[in-house]
Each structure stands twice: as structure tokens, then as C-alpha cells.
Chain A
Amino acid sequence: MLAKLILRNLLHHWGSTLLSMILLSTGVGIISLLLAVNKQVEDKFNRDLKNIDLVVGAKGSPLQLVLSAVYHLDAPTGNISKEEAEKLLTNPMIEQVTPLAYGDNYDGFRIVGTDSTYLLKYNSSFSRGSMFSNPMEVVAGSNVAKKKELKIGSSFTGTHGLSKDSDDDHEHFKYVVKGILNPTGSVLDNLILTPVESVERVHSERHEHAEHEQHEEGHDEDKTTGKQITALLLTFRSPQAMFSLPRFINESTNMQSASPTLEINRLLGLLGIGMDSVKAVAATLLLVAGLSIFIALYSRLSEKKYELALIRSLGCSRMKLFTLVVSEAILLCLAGFAGGMLLGITGMYWLNEKAADEYSFTLITNNLWNKDQFLLLTGTILIGITAALIPSVKAYRLNISKTLANA
């Protein structure tokens, strides 16, 4: 009966109930979305960093180099000479060197020339097929295979550039799918891997083609046609290499080195400021929601005074009446929280739908229940209790005789 009474009360005053719920849900929704994005972006960034101590590439912005070579989010800073890069192979401080050569895409998915060490970094395994062994053979990441419906033996042509909008097809070169990887939750899922030679072959052809055209148009530029790659991913033998190797590379070669951990922490630090301000907005929303619950309960209290006095006279104890008012607020908050979670999850699906391809990043929509969400729930309920405190104390102390006599 008490539950019915609380529920009926909320539904009867559906206007203010709805307003409070919308405010609560919006606040909770935004905060839970932010929490999930924040956490998952950090996780994802850290997962992709695995087993990469240093990135070496063309001189330019170190952050760009890291974003481009580790996360495949940005354009590369340029190319480096393969010859110069190979000198590092003999350095005793380096345990493993993974070459990366990229510049083409297949419908937005990057085609990356590399070797088997790249796959080892992410503990990937084959769901079908096997590793490439010849140029123009590719291994597709799980997401690429799913989206482009690639099977073993499928063939496709790459497009020059890194976004799917470019229309410069390498029509003469067909890649053949040799293997498909299991999902790793890393950047690998959205890449197409091929031997470095494939990329070299496609581009040397393109260069000749371009030069041919330029010559016809009367230009007389001589391009360097030495073998190039885009970047190297290094792992050190010991952490001490971190002190000497970057300086060595930056000062005595034509290349630059960047520590992915350092750059990403810098980037996340910058993003954190933005996150904080959005969080502040969402927290304000929650407070306003609390205020609206307070106002709703408080104003309803004066119009419901007689009702409350009535049920007291029917034998309802003070404590029960107090519980009645507080429960109403808590129920409202729980409903608002549930609505907010729903909103948050919808938001994630929407983000995935809109942004997953662009950022090659998919938010995980299950397993949202973590410590942060629990804190958020606790916070929401506390807001409800705080908002209900004054009205319920007033209800507790209601003078039945006076209220009924003045009716």
C-alpha cells in the first residue's frame, strides 16, 4: 500500500516528476557516458602502447608521430630512409624493431606494411588463414574483415592516402587476403597488414607514374627514389636505453624519436581539462535536478499538508510519514539514474555508430557497472535524500491538529 501510495503520488504530479527525471537522467547520462569514454579511451590508449618503448619517424611533432604510428589516428610526419633506419637494428640497447610503412587505405582502413613482430606485440592470433609470406598478401584485422566482409582469398585494391575520401586508386595492384585475425581490442583490429615490400612496390610504381606525368608537363624535378618507410617501433633491452637512445636518435640522425607513454600522458592531460569542464556541467545538472526535486517536494508539501495530516490521523506514525516523503525522492532518483544509464548507453551506441570508423575506436557497451557507476548511483541517491530532507522533516513535525483545524 505504501509503495502504491508513493508511486501514485509521483504519477499524479507527473509534471514535476517528469521535469526532475529529465534533469536527473541528463546529468547521470552525461556523466556515465563521460566516465565510460574516459576510462575506455585511457584503457585503449594504454593497450595500444603495449611493448612499444619508443617510436622513431620523420622529424616533426612527436605527438603526431605517436598518434600516427602507434594509434593510426593521424597522418605521418613524413618518411624516413630505410637505410638509415636499418642502422638502428645493430644497436645493442634495442631488443626489437618493428618497421611500419603506410600511406594507403582500403575504404578508410589503413594498409600497413610491417612484419610478424607487430602481431606479437598485441598477442594476436589467427581466426582463419595464416601469416603473409609474399608481397601483396595481407592479413586483415578482425574489424576490417567483419566490416568489409573479407574472406581468405578475397582481393581488393588500395587507395592512396589515409582516408577513404581519396580517389587515387592503385588499380594495377590487387591485395589478396591470406589471414584474418581474432579481435584483440587494440589498434590491430582496424588495420590491414602486409609485408613492407607490398607498400614499396605499390609506391615505386606510383612515383614512376607521377614522374612520367610531370615530365610530360614539362617539370624537371628529381625525386629521391631511395627506399623509404614511415616509422619504427622499438622495444628496449633495459629501461636505461630511455635515457640515451632518444637523444642519440634526435641529435645524430635525420629522424626523431618519441616516447609514446610521455606523449599520450601529455595528450590525456590536455583532454582531461575538457573532460573536467564537461563533468562540471553534468554535476551542475545533477545539482539542479536535486534542487528541482526539493522544490517539487517542498511546494507539494504545502498543498499536501492536509493529506499528510489526514493519514497521520488515520494512524500513520511520524516515522512512516517521514519515510513516505524520503522514499518518494529516492524512487525518483533511482528512476532518474536508470533513465540516465539508458541515455548513456544509447549515447555510446550513437557514438559508435557515428565515430567508430572515423577514430577506429569502438566503445564497449556492456560491463558498464564499475566502481565509478556505483559512486554515481550513491551520489544520485544522496542528492535525493538531501533534497527530501527539509520537506520530510517538515512532514515529520507537522502539527496535525493545527493543520486540520485550519482546513
Chain B
Amino acid sequence: MLHTSALTFSYKNGKTFKYPPLFCSVEKPLLITGQSGSGKTTLLHLLAGLLKPDQGLIKINGQYMTSLSGPVLDKFRGQYISVVYQHPHFMSALNIRDNIALAPYFSGDHIPQSEIEKLAVELGINDQLYRLPSSLSAGEKQRVSIARALISKPALLLADEPTSSLDDNNARTVTELLMTHSRQNGVALVIVTHDQRVKDFLEYKEHVYVG
């Protein structure tokens, strides 16, 4: 569950962004669209706790994230927030299984190994678990990053342009996977994108346009 008041953020070069209040629950995914340069990624980083808003409050799972900082914020981020990026990043030296296991390791959650396998089967990447990230296709990588995002059972899943580098088929699959699995796992889903296709793939959404 995500709740924010009107947020503002300005960069050092003077560029200022203002956002409307946002609300997102497990039942209704939030879709944020807008032109490039409209501050979509900035908003996502604010919601992810990677940036601190100049004004406004962010409440996740009943906790005001805006009042946290330092290692406490790092820990909070690890426990309650997961992000799926346009270009998923992995630790190139670790295999897929260990990459997924990194998320609960850093958030301090104890997840049984069987959970990783269960999730991998659900996302159709169980054959890729012992491969290195570099050997995976773009679609496979995005599934792995969804697995990593969901493994530590966050309260909020943020997706930053998750479909932009995928073809229609993969874009639809990834959107549906995000939707169904966040709902199944009781995770509030926020998708930030300029990709018009997502709007059609996503059912029962709240839509906010920024910029």
C-alpha cells in the first residue's frame, strides 16, 4: 500500500518537478505515464527511496519513508520496496539463482531456497537458474528481475519502463506477470512508462499522467 501527498523535487541545475498525490493498493495497480523528460524516473526514484523529496510525504505500509535515512532507509528499501528496471542489472559474477538470493540477503529476510525454485517455475525461468546473467535474452532477464523483485515479499513493486526494450509478445507477458504475481503475493504495483501498450495490457488500473 502506497500513499503520498503532493511531492516536489528539484535538481541542482534548477529543474523542478511537481507531482500529484498518489495512491496505490494491491487491488488496483497504479500506471504512471508521461513524455520522456517529464520526470517519470525521478518520481520512481522518489518512491523507491533513492531520492528524497523536497516537499511531501511518502507512506509505505503505514510507515513514513520520508522520515528515514542512512542504513535504516537502506534496510527499509530492501524490505519493503522492489524495483524492476528497463534494463535489468545483475551481478555478472553470480548465477541467476544467487542473483535472486541477493535481494533477501541484503534486506535481511530469510527465504527458504524452495521459494526461489517455486517462483522460478511460476515465471518460467527454472531452467536458467544456474546460468550467468550474460547468457540470458532480454525477456528472460526481465523475468529474472521480476523474480528478484518478488522474492523478498515487498510491500511495493516499482516497475520503470519494464517493457520498453521488449517486443509485443514479451511486453504483454511481462506486464501480465507483473500484474498477476504482484496480486498473488499481495504487493502493490506501480508501473512508470511511456509505453502505450502497457495501458492496454493492464486491467483495473489507476492511471496518472505526469508532465
Contact = CB atoms under 8 A, between A and B. Distances in A.
B197 interface: no
Contacts of B75: 315, 317
Contact of A9 (B93, B102, B148): B93
B74 A307 contact: no
A310 B144 CA distance: 14
A352 B181 CA distance: 69
B107 interface: yes
A4 B45 CA distance: 29
B94 A309 contact: no
A405 B41 contact: yes
A307 B90 contact: yes
Contact of A405 (B45, B101, B103, B148): B45
Chain A binding site: helix, strand, loop or mixed by DSSP? helix
B85 A314 contact: no
Interface in B17-76: 41-42, 45, 48, 50-51, 70-71, 74-75
Contacts of B98: 1, 4, 8
A309 B89 contact: yes
Contacts of A5: 91, 93-94, 102
Interface in B142-183: 148
Interface in A309-324: 309-320
B141 interface: no
A13 B41 CA distance: 32
Interface residues on A, range: 20 to 34
B106 interface: yes
A401 interface: yes
B105 interface: yes
Interface residues of B, number: 32
B78 A401 contact: no
Contacts of A319: 71
A309 B106 CA distance: 13
A270 interface: no
B78 A307 contact: no
B78 A315 contact: yes
Interface in A296-345: 306-307, 309-320
Nearest to B88: A310
B24 to A, nearest CB: 19
Contacts of B126: none
Contacts of B148: 314
A5 B105 CA distance: 11
6 contacts: A1-B98, A1-B101, A315-B108, A320-B106, A401-B50, A407-B87
Interface of B: 41-42, 45, 48, 50-51, 70-71, 74-75, 77-79, 83, 85-87, 89-94, 98, 101-103, 105-108, 148
